[in-house]
Structure 1
């Protein structure tokens, strides 16, 4: 989740739009991950050559240099002039990662595919792989007199690079934090990790580059052994790239420093090399397979239980959020609360506490006489009658009812419980659920953030009273959807928010799409940085999006909306654009909600065509769905560089 400190860094006034850094070419850095070899790239005569084996594809790109691949092989990044591009081999959804007037070299994906580390003027920098308005950030601020080059990332997250001074020795160093590195191997450069991250290749030789050879070592720098030599392989061997299958490497071989070179292939165990092609800067396309998971049950209540089982092992929830199963009004703010409280969002019939729901509460939420587990009950007795509270108390839980005179007052109570002193406040409509549920997954992913609701294109009195506590100069205002935009505009122009600036000068973020699917995609792009998971729900009902939104938001991913007939172009495009980081696409609800054919469309957007495996989580599945779901996501080692693209500007234009 994004911290309050990181969120505050996003509140940059950007009236004319935010500038993005420019990235330009350079030899690729190495980030080999396990799996089959799906393709290769190399550079020759100013052209980037791509051989994609499973597509029988051979193509070249002009003005492109030094490709490096995402962990699943769905996207590659390359420099072109003053820009860095991210592209797919199916040529869908090219993304301009960044642009600047400076030279940017040697891009390398992080092990999760979320970021690209690169060298710029002798300094390491990092940028979100999905591009957008996130600016490249200094990756290592450690003071030193030399230049840092050739970042490489292992599957375990070990980041190494080489540092040198003009005319002097280059050493391989390991990144420890944004402020610190340590020496790993002296007199070494151009590292490439083995697929399992336990070993690495590096280059060692003369400073004048008249002799360079490839060496091998353990990832901790011990066990160094020379792999190539002048007699068998020539005087200059460099730019090693360890293959994803672990058996071979590609490298560049030159007869002199000015020779354009050839790309050779050599078995890791040694022996004679074989020439592949004339060229340089070789890289492998890995073939890690991703997952498309259907989370569903026999009905909407069972689907909510399945979503809980996806997320929580026994006794690991911090609370439970409970709402009625036949209407969504009181629950619209519940997904953000559930994410912030590390809780599943479950639903039950008002007539009585569903036995399957009570069983799931007992499974995920520990309780005892000295430490009673908390269940938030959304809405008043007309929504969930008192006998449901009585049943929860009888089961040993503390039932905390969050209620108001209507759904807007209830939303304010939920917002106050979620974040009493928010730094970000979102407004969406309660008339339809699409905008609110997509926004709820994003709001819950940010510290100190809340969501309240408008009544179509007007603000109800309860929301007006809440917004009068908000200072748009200090806090970040986000309007999601056209109704919210029109409602806040009318309130400001009509004098309902007297402490606010005039509408023409109001600062904030407006996320208004041409339809609900587009708005949800805008929310995803704005609230999430290169997510590893994303979920798709039907626009035909609210059940799956409500409970699934809380589930995927807790996992750090967005909620997208589509019609049940076909995958809407907006979520399809978003999934393709962030496929470098995605490991799993989630389809919420059963085949009646989203047909089986749509699973394939999601899979081919999440990764390259056919490179995914289907699976499912149901109300009776083992829990959690994966070991990583057993607790809240572990500390993000790149958290200092992850910030949502919430660039404030004048809302009115």
Structure 2
């Protein structure tokens, strides 16, 4: 099963789900508003194929280690947490260096082998778009698959060259189009709209366009009387205005994200002449002043700084973490629907004292669109009953996971007395029960995840990944009993078609168990391993998610937090395990390398599970610094105000066809998966 086929399976599911309006909180709304963005450092081409940064007042010039930049303009992620540069390959990293460097794979399907020029983060940092050989190319910012051409041959014929892409917060791309004479004849500024797939000319004459931070304006260059001058225009191409007139070449403009100033390269003679004196200057169009910044670099790019969010969901008083997670996600019956919340279609009950039997409930809840609630084994707890009555209409199905030793017959009777249908999903052991739950989700999944049920960590991570496809019956988790598995699990797998089903083993023991199964078909599968459970969860997240916009960090010791949280966040982003005292190194590395796209992180549980040092570690990982992260405290699952809830619960628009991203679309689980460790089972 090749990579393209894997993309298609997941993309179709996700597109249909989002079109049906089933997804809820996927990205902070209004996070790119101009009022929320300020200006930070200015990135420069620092010579010697490197990058430098300098403060806007001209102080603090320093080099950025490790990022190759062959004479091109660097660029910043929308939150300022990462910088990207071109050259022989695209690389992104933190300006403080370290282990956060990401090198994007070589582009596939391009017309020629050429330098990768003028990269820019796109679609809120999830992608990078750049020019190579005059062709616009894009790929995920985490390097999870190879970049590929953005436009079709009809949109971008070989007779033109498209260069200098710039991105607007609404997803629109602007770029300079050249033609004739080896692509030296400028054809003006063009735009590409990912929502409509339309390419059009915006401004008849102009080069090097750059959007303002809010996307409302463009600055660009144009040749006037032999000198390259700066012009501005509205984003729709109207109100074109010349803002410089002095006999100087004004090149490589970049907006101040905060207040409309423009940094640019000033050349006393035409660029490239032997007597040229180049200086980076800052123009204040309102004041009509231009001041020198530095002559130690060129090609300025002004860092935007924007707040990301750490969302803390926790229980209090009679409201446990399961009810808090449910309240964060599902509408209250009889009350006005709030944007971003979801109408519950079912609910899942688990034994609050048994971790491994609870794990399959995550994918079940995510697929069946309902909360996972905990109760005692002998009777239905009042807290679970109260939450059922809050979210689930009468007549809805409540799934009981496990036999009567886990959830007694009395529990089912009490559920039915509340007006619901009780459906027990059981088996002779944990492995058999997981197969029963899988059958309830679907008999023909697109993806199967296998994990060892003897410890809860890998099953919870696997179940969260299985639930990521969301409400469409396409992902299931099967559990083994160590290196052995039940006949039910074996029969379930043997009834599947390996040509249309992806299979992933999560953890080394699960892989060994799978290889020992009496299989009737040969299987190609993907093995996710790691020295620790934290490693396995991070490797699974790396495999399964492409440049996610959100993530969940779970306390490795409190499984109840992870089960409740995984069921309501599986469709939005990966799950990572962390120790309590400080953020685990493997989780920190994962978040840091994807900080361009990750705007917020959820945690489930109180301060014991996530003390201040842990929370600071998360904040430092996803933003330019911890000072650029707001904490949203959702006590009992309810944020401080409905307004703040809405700002973090914007509904997802449709994704585009064919894997091409739509503006603001949710990350598609499983779309464009990285090349995994491919194994063959007998």
Q: Common fold, TM-score beyond 0.5?
A: yes
Pairwise CA distance, 1:4:
8.4
CA distance in 2, matches of 1:648, 1:35: 37
- SS of 1:381's equivalent in the other structure is coil
User: Residues 90 and 313 (structure 1 numbering): CA distance in 2 closer, same or farther, change over 3 Å?
Assistant: farther
Q: Is the 8 A contact 1:338 1:344 kept in 2?
A: yes
CA distance in 1, matches of 2:283, 2:543: 45
User: What residue number does 1:606 align with?
Assistant: 622
User: Residues 60 and 380 (structure 1 numbering): CA distance in 2 closer, same or farther, change over 3 Å?
Assistant: closer
User: Residues 220 and 409 (structure 1 numbering): CA distance in 2 closer, same or farther, change over 3 Å?
Assistant: same
User: What residue number does 2:25 align with?
Assistant: none
Residue by residue, what CA displacement relative to the aligned partner does 1:522-543 show, whole Å, maximum 9, x if unpaired? 0110111111211111222311
User: Residues 172 and 341 (structure 1 numbering): CA distance in 2 closer, same or farther, change over 3 Å?
Assistant: farther
Which one of the candidate residues 161, 178, 185 is aligned to 1:168? 185
Which one of the candidate residues 239, 250, 254 is aligned to 1:237? 250
- SS of 2:73's equivalent in the other structure is strand
Matches within 5 A, 1:18-167: 34-46=36-48, 47-51=50-54, 58-60=62-64, 63-64=68-69, 65-80=72-87, 82-92=88-98, 93-99=100-106, 102-132=114-144, 134-141=145-152, 142-144=155-157, 145-166=159-180, 167=184
Q: Is the 8 A contact 2:134 2:161 kept in 1?
A: yes
Q: Is the 8 A contact 1:155 1:197 kept in 2?
A: yes
Residue by residue, what CA displacement relative to the aligned partner does 1:616-636 show, whole Å, maximum 9, x if unpaired? 222152487732665764334
Which one of the candidate residues 575, 580, 604 is aligned to 2:596? 580
Q: Is the 8 A contact 2:140 2:546 kept in 1?
A: yes
User: Residues 291 and 410 (structure 1 numbering): CA distance in 2 closer, same or farther, change over 3 Å?
Assistant: same
Matches within 5 A, 1:452-491: 452-491=478-517
Matches within 5 A, 1:528-543: 528-543=545-560
User: What residue number does 1:215 align with?
Assistant: 231
Q: Which runs of 5+ in 2 are unaligned?
A: 12-31, 108-112, 334-341, 662-667
Which one of the candidate residues 355, 363, 384 is aligned to 1:357? 384
CA distance in 1, matches of 2:476, 2:178: 48
CA distance in 2, matches of 1:72, 1:354: 44
CA distance in 1, matches of 2:479, 2:78: 40
Pairwise CA distance, 1:405:
3.2
Residue by residue, what CA displacement relative to the aligned partner does 1:77-103 show, whole Å, maximum 9, x if unpaired? 1124x2211111232321112336532
User: What residue number does 2:521 align with?
Assistant: 500
Residue by residue, what CA displacement relative to the aligned partner does 1:172-197 show, whole Å, maximum 9, x if unpaired? 22212385312322223322222222
CA distance in 2, matches of 1:509, 1:53: 48
User: Residues 194 and 129 (structure 1 numbering): CA distance in 2 closer, same or farther, change over 3 Å?
Assistant: same
Matches within 5 A, 1:549-588: 549-554=566-571, 556-588=572-604
- SS of 1:102's equivalent in the other structure is coil
User: Residues 44 and 58 (structure 1 numbering): CA distance in 2 closer, same or farther, change over 3 Å?
Assistant: closer
Pairwise CA distance, 1:3:
12
CA distance in 1, matches of 2:191, 2:482: 54
CA distance in 2, matches of 1:73, 1:377: 46
Q: Is the 8 A contact 1:129 1:530 kept in 2?
A: yes
Q: Is the 8 A contact 2:438 2:477 kept in 1?
A: yes
User: Residues 633 and 400 (structure 1 numbering): CA distance in 2 closer, same or farther, change over 3 Å?
Assistant: farther
- How many residues align? The count is 611
Which one of the candidate residues 607, 610, 627 is aligned to 1:591? 607
Q: Is the 8 A contact 1:313 1:629 kept in 2?
A: no
Q: Is the 8 A contact 2:364 2:437 kept in 1?
A: yes
Matches within 5 A, 1:353-432: 353-365=380-392, 367=393, 372-432=395-455
Residue by residue, what CA displacement relative to the aligned partner does 1:376-396 show, whole Å, maximum 9, x if unpaired? 332333333344334444444
Q: Is the 8 A contact 2:79 2:305 kept in 1?
A: yes
Q: Is the 8 A contact 2:549 2:573 kept in 1?
A: yes
- SS of 1:182's equivalent in the other structure is strand
Q: Is the 8 A contact 2:319 2:636 kept in 1?
A: no
Q: Are positions 1:187 and 2:210 aligned together?
A: no
Pairwise CA distance, 1:646:
4.8
Q: Are positions 1:283 and 2:301 aligned together?
A: yes
Q: Which runs of 5+ in 1 are unaligned?
A: 11-30
- SS of 2:562's equivalent in the other structure is helix
Matches within 5 A, 1:187-206: 187-205=205-223
User: What residue number does 1:22 align with?
Assistant: none
Residue by residue, what CA displacement relative to the aligned partner does 1:223-279 show, whole Å, maximum 9, x if unpaired? 2222222xxx33422322111103311122233142563222111425121121234
- SS of 1:340's equivalent in the other structure is helix
User: Residues 117 and 362 (structure 1 numbering): CA distance in 2 closer, same or farther, change over 3 Å?
Assistant: farther
Residue by residue, what CA displacement relative to the aligned partner does 1:298-351 show, whole Å, maximum 9, x if unpaired? 489611222223333445224233322121333222212222333322222234
The 10-residue stretch of structure 1 (416-425 or 513-522) with the greater mean CA deviation from structure 2: 416-425
CA distance in 1, matches of 2:608, 2:8: 39
Pairwise CA distance, 1:126:
1.0
- SS of 1:334's equivalent in the other structure is helix
